[in-house]
Amino acid sequence: MLSSNPAALRKPHSLRKINPAEAKALLDGGVAVVIDIRESDEFAREHLAGAHHVPLSGFSAADFPAEAGNIAIFHCASGARTAEAAPRILATAFAEVYQLDQGLAGWKKAGLPTIVNRSMPISLQRQVQITAGLMVLTGVILGFTVSPWFFALSGFVGAGLTFAGVSGTCAMASVLAVMPWNRRALA
C-alpha cells in the first residue's frame, strides 16, 4: 500500500478508500493521523481514539500546513460527507490521503474500538429527524381521528423541511440546539 517510489506518492485525483483494518495498522504504527470531519455534537458523542477533529462546516486545507508529508485518513459517519469533501481534502498538504471505507460505521462494523460519551445527547441532525417524524405522524393520526385540520401540521413540517433543504437553515435545529439537554452537553 505505501511506497517509497516518488511517483506512487503523488496525490490521486480522487480519495482512495482504506478499509478499517488497514487504517488501524497505519494508526497503530504511528505513520498516519485520523481526521474526523463530523460536526462537534457527533464527535463529542463518539470518536476514534486519537482522532483530530476538524468539522466539515469549518474545514479548510490551510488548517493542515504543519502536517505536510504525513499520511491522513479522513472519515465521517458513513463516508458520504468525506466523499463530498474530496476536493478540499485533496488540497491539504498531506502526502497521502485516504477515506475510511464506510466511515465510523465501517470502523464499528469491523469490531474496532471507539471512545463513547453516553452522557452526550444524540446528534442534532437525528433530533431534528425524530422531532419532524413525530410531528408528521401526529398530524396524520389526528387528521384521521380528530379533525382534517390537523393535516396542516404535517404540511407545515414538510414546508419547513423543504425550506431547510433549499436555504441551508433549519429553524427546528436552531430551537433544538437551545434545549436544556443540548446546552448542558455543550457546557
Say what the pLDDT of residue 118 is: 83
pLDDT digits (tens, 9 = 90+) for 145-155: 999 999 999 99
**Degrees, nearest 5: CA angle 181-163-154:** 75
Say what the pLDDT of residue 152 is: 97
Distances (CA, A) of 23 to 14, 29, 32, 96, 102: 18, 10, 8, 13, 12
Secondary structure, 3-state, 78-90: CCHHHHHCHHHHH
* Per-domain boundaries in the chain: 6-116, 124-186
Distance CA 135, CA 185 (A): 25
Considering Cα of 160, then 161, then 162, then 164, what sign does the dihedral take? positive
pLDDT digits (tens, 9 = 90+) for 85-138: 999 999 988 889 999 999 999 999 999 999 998 888 888 888 999 999 999 999
Pair 18, 100: CB distance under 8 Å: yes
Question: What are the residue numbers of the active site?
Answer: 76
Which of 114, 96, 91 shows the shortest CA–CA distance to 32? 96
Q: What is the mean pLDDT of residues 47-67?
A: 85
Q: Is 174 exposed, middle or buried (0-12, 13-18, 19+ CB in 10 A)?
A: exposed
Least confident range of 46-50, 89-93, 140-144:
89-93
- Count the helix, strand and coil residues of the chain and give each as a percent rounded to the nearest 5: 55, 15, 35
**Torsion angle of C-alpha atoms 25, 30, 111, 76, degrees rounded to 10:** -110
The CATH fold of domain 6-116: Oxidized Rhodanese; domain 1 (3.40.250)
pLDDT interval class at 8 (50, 70, 90): very low
